Amino acid sequence: MDSLGQFEQIVLTAILALDDNAYGVTIHAKVEELSRPKKAARGAVYATLDRMEDKGLISSWLSEPTKERGGRSRRHYRIEKSGEKALRESARTAQRLIETIAQTLGGLAWKPR
């Protein structure tokens, strides 16, 4: 199984957090929120979604067209089992990093923001 890049982790987490409401606009907003203070380009989010879909980490489908989108459908995304597994693995690695950093910088009362 390929390990996830940092941006992939953020996008996957955004999809996970949004649950049934994960589509382009909401995913981009959530990604911006998660990657603060960095800005995330919407195009980069689309490219990452495409790449992860090709890897089988997520799946997508089109909803019914809506008026507020000019009669166009939303492309909804959902995490697949392999995506969940990859995200758990990344979270475990991040956890180990946090623990190590906290141990090393403990005296400085370091805590992740």
Partner 1 sequence: MEAALNTPPEWLERIVLSAIPPAAREAVAGDLWETYQSPHQYAVEALCTVPLVVLSQMRRNLNPLVLMLQGTMIFLGLGGAATLIFLPLLMLRDAYQPVTRPTPRNCIREAILLSSGAMILLLLIMSIHSPFPVRSGVDSFTWLSLFLAALFLSPFLCLFRAGLIMQGDRCQKLAGHDMSREALTKVYDSFQRGAFCRNMLEGVALAFAAATGFFFAWNTLLVGLFALMAVYLLVDTRPRASVAGDFTSVRAEYQRDLARQEQLRRFLRWLWFAPVLVALHARLAGAAIDSVPPLLNCVAVAILCFLVTALNREHGGRVREEIDQLDRIHEAQSSDC
Q: What is the dihedral of CA 63, 34, 48, 17, to 10 degrees?
A: -40
- Encoding tokens for residue 92? 């475990």
Interface with partner 1, residue 43, by CB under 8 A: yes
Quick note: the x/- pattern for partner 1 over 50-79, rule CB under 8 A, is xx-xx-x--xxxx---x-xxx-xxxx--x-
20-44 b/e with 16+ CB inside 10 Å = b?
Answer: eebbeebbbebbbeeeeeeebeeee
Q: Which stretch binds partner 1 (CB under 8 A): 4-12, 36-44, 84-92, 103-111?
A: 36-44
Note the residues at the interface with partner 1 (CB under 8 A). Answer: 23-25, 28, 41-44, 46-47, 50-51, 53-54, 56, 59-62, 66, 68-70, 72-75, 78, 80-81
